[in-house]
Amino acid sequence: MTDRHDYHVDGTPPETPANDTAAGPWSTTTVVGTRQPRVDAYERLSGAAIYPHDVSLPGMLHGAILRCPHAHARVLSIDTTEAERMPGVRAIITGKSPGTDIPWYENGGAFSGKLFDEICRHEGDEVAVVAAETPHQAVDATRAIKVRYEELPFVIDHTAALESGAPAIHEGGNVVGEPRVRARGDIAAGFAEADVIVERTYRTECQIHATMEPHGSVARWDGNRLTVWDSTQGVFSVQANLARVLAMPLSNVRVIGHYMGGGFGSKLETGKYTVYAAILARMTARPVKLFLPREDCMTSTGNRPANTMTVKIGARSDGSLTAIEYRSLGSCGAYADGAGTGALPTYLYQVANVHVVDTTVYTNAGKARAMRAPGVPQAAWALEQAMDELAAELEMDPLELRLKNIPTTLQVEHNPPFTSPELRACLETGSEAFGWTESFAREPGDGHLKRGVGLAAGMWFYAGGPPSTVVVKLFADGSANVNMGASDIGCGTKTWAAMIVAEELGVPLDRITVEHADTATTQYATPSGGSKTVPSDSPAVLAAARSVKLQLLSFAADQLEVPVDDLSYVDFEIGSRSDSSKRIPVPKIERLGRRGVVLGTGYRDPNPEDTVTFPFCAQFCEVEVNTRTGELRILRFLGAHDSGRVLNRLTFDNQVFGGMAMGIGLGVTEERVLDRQTGKMVNANFHDYKIPTMLDVSASHDCLPIDHPDNAFNSTGAKGLGEPATIPTAAAVGNAVARALGVRITDAPLTPRRILEAISASSSRDNARGSRDAAASRKSDLRSAEADFDVRRESRGEEAPGGVPSRRPSRKEA
């Protein structure tokens, strides 16, 4: 459904070998579904875990990248003479160096850039790279490189990029490919059938991935073999890209990514920095470490593009939708990618007539990359607020409007059914747990603090599947090892893998270790992204454990002298059903002891045909808006999520809370700010770029899993969660704010300034009717604003429910 190319290693149709025996589904579970702390929690919290950023090798050099300071410029000349004489400098590469003429930024089989390009198309494009004895010497040397640029006219706004006469960023104009159209039915007939039509344009701002660990790699050569430690979401994908650009056999490229500090999609693509490190390490015969400073991560490692989205929805008076027309414009930045948002309006609701157009343009800004449900939170911001506006026109509860239009199939040609169509369950169970009906009936309040509730729904368009291979080893003492290639990008991958082995074989969790994310020593897996790691890899883990179990059963049958079908495997013991005296604990199986280890291999079986599997969700929130200061406090949030079977309830909750936090960022606090005069990013740091903190998220938040195993989809019955968790969040906040204020704010983020402007625009409309009271009311507003300020100061140290200090005044205004 999604056309992201980076969820698999390359574009070929995925295939995996067949399992000998079918595994699952479980009827009951004792480990799976419980709350388990991460198997690597101690390492992560104590600092013992070695992230790529921590890797330090004997004799290692440090790299630093010289980047273009202009939004758009041609490199006329680069003089490295002085830099080469700087202390500690061992090598410098530019686009003129041997082996650097490499096409880069692949999209749909074509490349829109090069490893070094003589045209720099955004602030941060790479010009030269230095390797030196220390990080500071490397940075100093980049400053000594003399570059002559010819500055070119630039465009940073996606609407302006479409205008005639806009600076061309690539040959052939600023539109990337053809606009993508999704359509069904007859849109004009659909609107003709409608009793009510709502049309509105919404905007979201550009959001940065803001990973805690910066992007970077360490590269080391042993003869003609390359080893790379990379902060990546997919070691096999980095291996494939390095082998391609360096013209090496896959077997000579080893990529290791044991820990990584956040990716959210920005570490799906192979970084130029990885190739630079490899080239410099080969030139110097020394290991090279190249990690980006925070500013470079902000300008040059991806973003969720800003979007402008126009939604037109028609419905009959009973609330049934008749037509959705949707146009979305976004920018992929300087190099080709998709900035589309059109999937959600096409498929979230049952509606016969749809016309959706996505246009992506180039701008002179950092390239977009997949970011946590690429396109979908933006679409939800538009669609789900338009649905609330439609509900208001229809005088319907927004919940009822959504329940009236629930799809159970994917509305494409053959109308394939969803294997687990749980949108209704998310809305019904979630609204009940939240107390939606009572909360929605409440008035916003008479004072200056207005409260309101909002909800939004969502679905995610990727389900996972083959290929995945996993090996489980059971050692003679009954301890076990899981060997899988998937990266654990912070989503608890290692932990649920161990839990599945514990469930299937009865091995205690603390006697299971996990080998993962190393192309030399672990099994093949696709990158961890698209919310597909659980549904792609968990069935392979189960199949591998099941293979071990079947071997143990046959060993025990010989030893106990009973037929295999008479045996049952309960906890960590195998026994005869017909003769209870014949039983044996697994570690006492003689042939296990003689072999030393029993090895089981499991594969990901293909997905069923003619059906579609998606995760669904609905989120509900309550906000309080201070109409004098424009401050927005999020009081509570509830996420009702259908992701099939819950593997680890603790991790499930945390995914949902993390997704909400990121969605609050999109809706309330985050915004990449590019300077109109220079095209440069002015908030490329964690002080001025506002990711939500503990004080910005809601003090009270709940996760409500629907937890219906989708056994038709795969053997563990689990679907994805990481991306759905962030899809409806911003829209739910938008709807709650509109309910609290009685005014709809169409542009995210909902900063105090936007909120005050919206209030003032609406009250100046009201005041046109009776301006006599205005002066008096302003005076009293001022008095109570002062009082309000005092109250806030007094209560600064006070604790809100949940032990979280009350929200600090936002500093977010430029």
Binding site for ligand MOS (CB under 6 A): 233, 263-265, 268, 370-372, 374, 529-530
Cβ atoms 424, 418 nearer than 8 A:
no
Please, which residue, 328 or 431, has the CB nearer to ligand MOS?
Answer: 328
DSSP states along 311-333: EEEEE-TTS-EEEEEEEEEEEEE
Task: Annotate 490-550 with three-state secondary structure.
Answer: CCCHHHHHHHHHHHHHCCCHHHEEEEECECCCCCCECCCCCCCHHHHHHHHHHHHHHHHHH
Closest CB 461 distance from ligand MOS, rounded Å: 11
Q: Which is nearer to ligand MOS, 268 or 380 (CB)?
A: 268
Could you tell me the smallest distance in angstroms from the CB atom of residue 608 to ligand MOS? 23
Spatial separation of the C-alpha atoms in residues 275 and 406, rounded to whole Å: 48
Write down the least CB distance from residue 265 to ligand MOS, Å: 3
* Spatial separation of the C-alpha atoms in residues 434 and 249, rounded to whole Å: 56
Short-list 737, 747, 736, CA closest to 627: 737
Give whichever of 304 and 633 is closer to ligand MOS, judged by the CB atom: 304
What span, in angstroms and rounded, lies between the C-alpha atoms of 667 and 378? 9
Q: Which residues of 475-485 are buried (b: 16+ CB within 10 A; e: fewer)?
A: beebebbbbbb
What's the DSSP call for residue 98?
T
**Treating both helix axes as pointing N-terminal to C-terminal, what angle do 752-767 and 729-741 enclose, rounded to 10 degrees?**
30
Residue closer to ligand MOS, measured from CB, 267 or 701: 267
Answer whether 315's CB lies under 8 Å from 390's CB: yes
Contact indicator for 732, 621 with CB cutoff of 8 Å: yes
Q: Report, in Å, the least distance between residue 374 CB and ligand MOS.
A: 5
Between 123 and 537, name the residue whose CB sits nearer to ligand MOS.
Answer: 537
Residue 621 or 664: which CB sits closer to ligand MOS?
664
The answer for residues whose C-beta is within 8 angstroms of residue 13's C-beta and 6 or more apart is: none
- Please give the Cα distance from 668 to 625 (Å, whole number): 12
User: CB of 463: closest distance to ligand MOS in angstroms?
Assistant: 13
Nearer to ligand MOS, 371 or 471 (CB): 371
Burial of 674: CB neighbours in 10 Å, binned 0-12, 13-18, 19+: buried
Smallest distance from ligand MOS to CB 529, Å: 3
Provide, rounded to whole angstroms, the least separation between the CB of residue 613 and ligand MOS.
Answer: 16
Q: How many CB atoms lie within 10 A of CB 82?
A: 12
Shortest distance, CB of residue 234 to ligand MOS, whole angstroms? 9
The least CB distance from residue 373 to ligand MOS, in Å, is 7
Is the Cβ of residue 530 or residue 749 nearer to ligand MOS in the bound state?
530
CA distance linking residue 720 with residue 460, whole number of Å: 9
Nearest to 692 by CA among 720, 725, 657: 657
* Closer of 53 and 532 to ligand MOS (Cβ): 532
The residue ranges of DSSP E strands in 279-320, in sequence order, are: 288-291, 303-304, 307-315
Query: Three-state DSSP class for 404?
Result: coil
C-beta closer to ligand MOS: residue 539 or 720? 720
Give the number of residues written for the chain: 814
CB of 621 to ligand MOS, least distance (A): 23
The nearer residue to ligand MOS, 142 or 207, going by C-beta atoms, is 207
Nearest distance from C-beta of residue 267 to ligand MOS, angstroms: 8
Contacts 24+ apart (CB under 8 A), 743-746: 744/200, 744/385, 744/389, 746/200, 746/201, 746/202, 746/203, 746/385
Cβ-based neighbours of 349, under 8 Å, separated by 6 or more = 321, 324, 387, 402, 405, 406, 407
User: In terms of CB distance, is 385 or 528 closer to ligand MOS?
Assistant: 528
CA distances from 630 to 286, 403, 661, 723, 789 (A): 55, 33, 20, 30, 13
Going by the DSSP 8-state scheme, the letter that residue 795 receives in this structure is G
Taking the complex as a whole, how short is the minimal distance between the CB of residue 334 and ligand MOS, in angstroms?
A: 20
Which residue's CB atom is positioned nearest to ligand MOS?
Answer: 265
Q: Which is nearer to ligand MOS, 241 or 751 (CB)?
A: 241
Q: Pick the closer one to ligand MOS by CB: 373 or 598.
A: 373
Work out how close the CB of 40 gets to ligand MOS at its nearest, in angstroms, rounded to a whole number.
20
The string over 57-69, giving b where at least 16 C-beta atoms fall within 10 Å of a residue's C-beta and e elsewhere, is beebbbbbbbbbb
Amino acid (1-letter code) at residue 451: R
CB of 438 to ligand MOS, least distance (A): 37
